[in-house]
Amino acid sequence: MKERLYLYDTTLRDGQQTQGVQFSVAEKIQIARTLDDLGIDYIEGGWPGANPTDSDFFDARPQTRATFTAFGMTRRAGRSAENDDVLAAVLNAQTPAVCLVGKAHDFHVTTALGQSLEENLEAIRSSVAHAVSRGREALFDAEHFFDGWKANPDYALSCLRAAFDAGARWIVLCDTNGGTLPAEIGRITAEVIAAGIPGDRLGIHCHDDTGNAVAGTLAAVDAGARQIQGTLNGLGERCGNANLTTLIPTLLLKEPYASRFETGVTHDALRGLTRASRMLDDILNRVPLRSAPYVGASAFVHKAGLHASAILKDPSTYEHVDPALVGNQRLIPMSNQAGLSNLRARLAAAGIEVAPDDPRLGQILRQIKEREDQGYAYDGAQASFELLARRALGLLPDYFEVKRYRVTVERRKNKYNQMVTLSEAVVVVKIGDEKMLSVSESLDETGSDRGPVNALAKALAKDLGPYQASIDDMKLVDFKVRITQGGTEAVTRVIIDSEDGAGQRWSTVGVSANIVDASFEALVEAILWKLVRDGVAPA
């Protein structure tokens, strides 16, 4: 019989304490639904009364299977729990559970609260008892608990006991400043259990200030704690909270946790984890962290030739779990670290069949390595790799030829006598026997200057005659510029991410001593790849 571990998500509360993060009510609703679909047990929605967004969210909160929880603090000094307006706002949110934070470190009681130690115990007791008397499942977040235990274990324990005796369902040990290392978290959690607070009433709330929040959480579970607090993608105050996106697959897929525990997350729901992680980044307008464990875009990328060779024989040679279990994907990219195994895998993924003994494979590999030496980078620009391979194999149609292009940047006064910048691009291409000339400016629909590369992109894509239908839904979504070493010279490498109407994304690379030329090369490659992918016949 497996023991139950409870997952408590605080993305909408501690996650909102991340610098630069501010959720709207609609975003909170979307995140809450995603957490519920995942199978999280508790969703902490925020602090009702602390700000209008949190108050409005609790009014509009979705129906969830998860226990919805409102966060607040123990009653303030000089008021009774019944007469504290901050506590009243938390209870008025009418959630089935309420989590109250209170001090568990004597230094904080006297210094931050300016209270006597006994007054703080009474505030914890009366606040928890008040929440319980209102029919709520009460949780007590013991703030600064681990530092408090190290400074004065008797007092830290009496804070936990005050909440426990007042009826709190969960006593949550918080490493608020995030400085306690995993071994110490494990030892102190075990000491708390030995002192009489049962493990199945204990939660753990770690911060990542030493990069150990996940490890500290697992140490507390090993010692007996049975509730885990954390956030999606490790959002949270300062360096963040324990990352549930890492912890959940670890608990479901890794021993001893997989055999010993069950959570509310099913293996089926686990396959939605990568999507949930990317959804949050999308809301935050953040580029997803490629190296994130389990869910990062690089988590199952096998760049080195030795790795790729073995992966093709059996993926378990270089993968600790199957990426499909967490909804992620395996990728074998091309680069100067690659061998023939990478190459064959990439070609097959692009639908290009080549006999294993075809001598052109070796030529393509050499060309990739030579071009990477000149500054190109193909592991982040798979579309350019595919075009290079198609060229070498004679599989790239002769769509169009760029005869010339020009871009000018002008700074001048507008009719309101303000200095403005305007870029203008001219591109001439030859398609079959016909020459086409397109001109475009850099201004967007609001009249703002989008720069010379944007003007070039617009001019290039403005009139490609018979190919126009295929490229009309293309847009440039990211543009990365980097000065790098090409042989012995400094060169500019530009990587462009493009997207089409179907949500398909691809990356292309250009390299030159001149940023405009590098950008133009990447832009042309982006269009060529789209034409190839759409199976467009050359005019």
Ligand X SMILES: CC(=O)SCCNC(=O)CCNC(=O)[C@H](O)C(C)(C)COP(=O)(O)OP(=O)(O)OC[C@H]1O[C@@H](n2cnc3c(N)ncnc32)[C@H](O)[C@@H]1OP(=O)(O)O
**Contact positions with ligand CC(=O)C(=O)O (CB under 6 A) in 143-162:** 143
Whose CA is closest to 235, among 216, 211, 207?
207
Considering only 103, 105, 130, 205, the residue that binds ligand CC(=O)C(=O)O (CB under 6 A) is 205
In this structure, what token pair is assigned to residue 321? 């779990």
The helix (H) or strand (E) run that includes residue 71 is strand 67-73
84 near ligand CC(=O)C(=O)O, judged by CB under 6 A: no
Name the 3-class secondary structure at 51: strand
**Contact positions with ligand CC(=O)C(=O)O (CB under 6 A) in 85-144:** 101, 141, 143
Inter-residue contact 527 to 471 (CB < 8 Å): yes
Smallest separation, CB 109 to ligand X (Å): 9
How far apart are the C-alpha atoms of 104 and 156, rounded to whole Å?
5
CB neighbours of residue 149 within 10 Å: 26
Residue 36: name its binding partner from ligand CC(=O)C(=O)O, ligand X, none (Cβ under 5 to 8 Å by kind).
none
Inter-residue contact 277 to 293 (CB < 8 Å): no
Residue 205: name its binding partner from ligand CC(=O)C(=O)O, ligand X, none (Cβ under 5 to 8 Å by kind).
ligand CC(=O)C(=O)O
Alpha carbon 252 to chain centroid distance? 20
Smallest separation, CB 220 to ligand X (Å): 17
In the complex with ligand X, the residue whose CB is nearer, 74 or 227, is 74
Inter-residue contact 45 to 32 (CB < 8 Å): yes
* Cβ partners under 8 Å of residue 142, min gap 6: 102, 104, 148, 156, 159, 160, 163, 171, 172, 173, 174
Amino acid making up residue 520: F
Determine how β-strand 170-175 pairs with β-strand 137-143.
parallel
Q: What ranges make up the beta strands (E) of 127-243?
A: 137-143, 170-175, 202-206, 227-230
Smallest separation, CB 233 to ligand CC(=O)C(=O)O (Å): 17
How far apart are the C-alpha atoms of 319 and 323, rounded to whole Å?
8
Considering only 28, 61, 103, 307, the residue that binds ligand X (CB under 6 A) is 103
HEC sequence for 383-441: HHHHHHHHHHCCCCCCCCEEEEEEEEEEEEECCCCCEEEEEEEEEEEEECCEEEEEEEE
Residue 27: name its binding partner from ligand X, ligand CC(=O)C(=O)O, none (Cβ under 5 to 8 Å by kind).
none
Considering only 112, 306, 481, 513, the residue that binds ligand X (CB under 6 A) is 112
Smallest separation, CB 303 to ligand X (Å): 39
How far apart are the C-alpha atoms of 119 and 111, rounded to whole Å?
13
**Contact positions with ligand X (CB under 6 A) in 150-209:** 176
Residues that contact ligand CC(=O)C(=O)O, how many (by CB under 6 A): 8
Residue 102: name its binding partner from ligand X, ligand CC(=O)C(=O)O, none (Cβ under 5 to 8 Å by kind).
ligand X
Amino acid making up residue 441: E
Considering only 124, 163, 174, 460, the residue that binds ligand CC(=O)C(=O)O (CB under 6 A) is 174
How far apart are the C-alpha atoms of 435 and 382, rounded to whole Å?
30
How far apart are the C-alpha atoms of 438 and 461, rounded to whole Å?
9
Considering only 66, 73, 213, 491, the residue that binds ligand X (CB under 6 A) is 73
Q: Which residue is nearest to ligand X (CB)?
A: 50
Considering only 113, 283, 310, 422, the residue that binds ligand X (CB under 6 A) is 113
How far apart are the C-alpha atoms of 79 and 522, rounded to whole Å?
66
The helix (H) or strand (E) run that includes residue 281 is helix 273-284
176 near ligand CC(=O)C(=O)O, judged by CB under 6 A: yes
In the complex with ligand CC(=O)C(=O)O, the residue whose CB is nearer, 14 or 137, is 14
50 near ligand X, judged by CB under 6 A: yes
**Contact positions with ligand X (CB under 6 A) in 463-502:** none
In the complex with ligand X, the residue whose CB is nearer, 76 or 169, is 76
Inter-residue contact 275 to 295 (CB < 8 Å): no
Smallest separation, CB 393 to ligand CC(=O)C(=O)O (Å): 57
x-marked contacts with ligand X along 208-227 as a string, rule CB under 6 A: --------------------
Smallest separation, CB 523 to ligand CC(=O)C(=O)O (Å): 47
**Contact positions with ligand X (CB under 6 A) in 11-30:** 17
Q: Would you tell me which residues interact with ligand X (CB under 6 A)?
A: 17, 47, 50-51, 73-74, 76, 86, 101-103, 112-113, 143, 176, 237
Q: Would you tell me which residues interact with ligand CC(=O)C(=O)O (CB under 6 A)?
A: 14, 101, 141, 143, 174, 176, 205, 207
